[in-house]
A and B are shown apart, each in its own frame.
Chain A
Amino acid sequence: MMKNRTLVLIALCIALNIGLGQAASTLKLPIFLDSIGTVLAALLMGPWVGMATGLVTNLLWGVISGPVAAAFAPVAMVIGLVAGFAARKGLFRTLGGAVIAGVVITLFVTLVATPIRTYLFGGVTGSGADFFVAYLTAVGQKLLQSVALTVIWTNLVDKIVACLVAQAVVRQLPGRIRSLFPGAENVA
């Protein structure tokens, strides 16, 4: 059974994902900002908590807005998982390390998101990225590769920003809160 402290942290990080994600779309920023909470949970409490945060975030998005978000739940889980293991490897100790962690997360996201997008949605998202996929397939690329390229292209900046923000937040935590989370030691 999970401790209530962990439950409340996960709930808060899910709420941050939802809140910041909505804020990013109202501010019309070109990034999603909807995985900062997931990375934060992973940094504070480790990969498994990060994974749970990602999973429930997307299930909840599914309940609020429809099943598409739920279909991408494995992607959100991978973000939390990879961020947690990257932190254990000490990648979040430096600024450069956090950028690398963002790149690594993007690669894993691509591995998981590409098949979902390709086989469940025919590589179509209903966003501007469709023009890119259409162009790539038209000039002879395979659908799977075209989708993978767009996934990298749309996620790279967002995931690096998420890693940097989460790292900075953990660094700025007051000592009183920091001391409650063993994982925070992995973020110098």
Chain B
Amino acid sequence: MRKIGPFRSFLLWAVWVGGSMGLPAFPFAAVMAGLSAGAVLLWPRARRRAKAVALFMLPLALGFWLIHGGALQLFFGGSVQPSRAVWALGLWLRILSVISASQLWLEYVPPPVLIRSLFAGRLPASWAFLLASPLLLAEQIRTRAAQVREAQLSRGVPVHGTFLERASSLTALVFPLVLGMLNELPARSAALDMKGFGLFPRRSSLAREGETGALPALEPAPQTFNGKVAELREAAFLAPGETKPVLEIPEFSVAPGDTAFLEGGNGSGKSTLASMLSGAVPEHRGGSISGNVRVLGEDVTARTCLAWSPDVQAVQQNPVLSLSGCTFTVREEVAFGPENLALPPAEIRTRVERALDLAGITHLGDRNPACLSGGEAQKLALASALAMTPRLLVLDEAFSRIHPADRHSLASVLRRQAREEGTALVVLEKPGNASSPWFPPAWHFRDGRLLPGPSPVCSRRPAAGSSLFPEKKDDRPVLVIDDLSFRWKGETSPLLRSLNAVLRPGERAALTGPNGAGKSTLMRLCAGLLEPECGAVLLGGVPVGSMAPGERAARIGFLFQDAERQIFHSTVAGEVLFSLRKSALSPDERMERMRQALSATGLSRKEEKHPLDLNSAERRMVAVASLSVREGDLLLLDEPTRDFDPEWQARFEEWMLSRREAIVAVSHDPEFTGRLFPVSWSLGGGRLTT
């Protein structure tokens, strides 16, 4: 039997629905309902949907009986109209027929099939995008919501309890989620522009085999461009409504085949420069450019980010934001950009395979892009950019999550590729990383200016204090991990097997181990966010699981990996004061605490700023300051120094050494843990070695 395509089957469904609603109920709708409901039960693949049909239709039947069955009418002294009951039965059968037929169609055309055929079909691609992308986003929202919930729980926001409590907690859950997602909107839309989506009225599609007809020919690009690929002179970027430039670039240029390595700390202007070069100003980055910014000899503002996409690609740090959400395999994701350029299928195939090979992810070709690790996803983002064969490739901390060994091979592949093809590379990274494959830097950002040469050595000395904080006389342990085991629901073997450890007041322990060893899980167990399978975590002799969330939050401070996810106030001060909302301090004392915390975290004079307007290091410090206003017994820090430049790292270390609490920190930085953590806990194979 020939397979019926998604659209033919949709037409069949529409005819069926029309018939069920329009033909006389008896016998037509009744027979049709019988047929389609029977099919749901008899088709093995669709049988799991029978439950959904039943869960909808049975309460509906009850409702029909209540409203139209006449029982209540009799009760209230009215009269029963049998014709109405018959009409109601007919309507119920019509609905049954439609619902069953729909479930059959949904089973026949599952979302991936539907979305692929929408993109290959004749409908405008924007409709296909709108039906596809929210599914990925909704998945990301679910993950994010779980993280936010956990972060707020550890700050003492009740998630269970009476209706009023849950409703008031809703603000602390919904706002960080929605604000965070909106905050990433420009990055997401720039990424979609960068994939050339909507550049041509019709895109080509690998799924639409054999059709090469009226594809628009690409304008022949001037391949023999010999001048500088990017050239900036007396250029500056101004934020909206400001007169003082955020970033000034006296002079900068990069020639075809060359690599420019630029260093800059958090908030120094790296991403601003990336936006300027890729045409994202002002559409995705509010503000304006002054001076002379030329890309391929052309004024950069003469084209939009979308129109620049065939020539300029910028890869941003967070790879999740650059996923199109419209594809189901890594290979399709890399092909998405070239398809938007309406290239012939053969050309797209060549480009995709080459890009996968260059990025070293050919083996991931059939994996789901949404299920990759951080490093793998960064390689995918790189491959997607390479498949567009740009002549200017901007890498904005694009390798931060890739394993150091792979970074070097990727860098040399890219360098060679650039020389052979005449591509210009602009690499933006944090300073102070001598092991960077791009070393040494030719340019650096300093005080809002881009200057030649490597950045001067960090002015702040790294904290030395390997000595313990003066111990309290009382030597009873703060934290006792007692024969602790944990197993995820549905897993056969436990992740953690009878762990034992003790931490005394003021002690600092570094928790190390390979990816997936369960470090974050152990931290959550210590914070009482997870229930152990057996054994216990005791804080001052009391199991953490048995404490009320408020008490736990007062005694344990938890800095999460993505600490900025918890932010939901519109000022730094408001966010920090939120941690003190239940304390017995007077308003003056609270303000004093807040000021001290901000000065200890380098955020003085930022009280009234919007936390989401700050750079990533400052944003993390807002979370640190929220911990800092209170003094408990234990601090849990999950990769606290990730994404810090040397200056912020030094400031963070100073803050950490000033704390009296016992500290457990997860970190992948051996230098940091070796220097500052006298106690070492190493987790591997489900066991803890101290």
Contacts and interface: CB of A to CB of B under 8 A. Distances in A.
B687 interface: no
B78 A66 contact: no
A12 B137 contact: yes
Contacts of A10: 130
A11 B62 contact: no
A174 B612 contact: yes
Contacts of B92: 122
B102 interface: yes
Given A20-B174, A169-B178, A177-B186, A126 B56 contact: yes
A50 to B, nearest CB: 14
B186 A124 contact: no
B193 interface: yes
Given A11-B129, A177-B182, A66 B52 contact: yes
A134 B75 CA distance: 12
Contacts of B611: 174
Given A12-B182, A27-B166, A174-B610, A4 B60 contact: no
B183 A14 contact: no
Contact of B570 (A29, A143, A172): A172
Interface string B596-626: 0000000000000011110000000000000
Interface string A118-135: 000111111100110111
Interface string A153-188: 000000000000100110111111101100000000
A15 B167 CA distance: 21
A177 to B, nearest CB: 6
A4 B570 contact: no
Contacts of A2: 126, 198
Contacts of B434: none
Question: Secondary structure at chain B's binding surface: helix, strand, loop or mixed?
Answer: helix
Contact of B179 (A64, A131, A172): A172
B635 interface: no
A4 B198 contact: yes
Interface core residue of A10, A11, A165, A177 (most chain B CB under 10 Å):
A11
B106 interface: yes
Interface string B145-162: 100000000000000000
Contact of A67 (B99, B166, B182): B99
Nearest to B49: A66
Interface residues of B, number: 78
A127 B140 CA distance: 30
Interface string B579-592: 00000000000000
B141 A15 contact: yes
A51 B140 CA distance: 24
Contacts, number: 201
Contacts of A135: 72
Interface residues of A, number: 64
A48 B59 CA distance: 36
Contact of A16 (B60, B178, B284): B178
Nearest to A137: B67
Given A15-B134, A66-B56, A172-B179, A133 B67 contact: yes
Interface string A17-54: 01110110001010000001000100000000000100
Contacts of A23: 145
Contacts of A169: 175, 178-179, 182
B174 A165 contact: yes
Contacts of B279: none
Interface stretch (A55-63, A73-81, A83-91): A55-63
Given A4-B198, A66-B106, A14 B182 contact: no
B114 A126 contact: no
A95 interface: no
B60 to A, nearest CB: 4
A42 B596 CA distance: 42
Among B129, B178, B186, max chain A CB count under 10 A is at B178
B175 A179 contact: no
B166 to A, nearest CB: 6
Contacts of A179: 240-241, 286
B236 interface: no
A150 B124 CA distance: 39
Given A29-B167, A124-B63, A174-B613, A14 B130 contact: yes
Interface of A: 1-5, 7-12, 14-16, 18-20, 22-23, 27, 29, 36, 40, 52, 56-57, 59-60, 62-68, 121-127, 130-131, 133-135, 137-140, 143, 165, 168-169, 171-177, 179-180
16 contacts: A8-B189, A10-B130, A11-B325, A15-B138, A15-B181, A19-B138, A19-B141, A52-B130, A63-B106, A66-B56, A122-B88, A126-B58, A133-B63, A174-B610, A174-B613, A179-B241
Interface of B: 17, 52, 56, 58-60, 62-64, 66-68, 72-73, 75-76, 78, 88, 91-92, 95, 98-99, 102-103, 106, 111, 114, 124, 126, 129-131, 133-135, 137-138, 140-142, 145, 163, 166-167, 170, 174-175, 177-179, 181-183, 185-186, 188-189, 192-193, 197-198, 201, 239-241, 283-284, 286, 306, 325, 568-570, 610-613
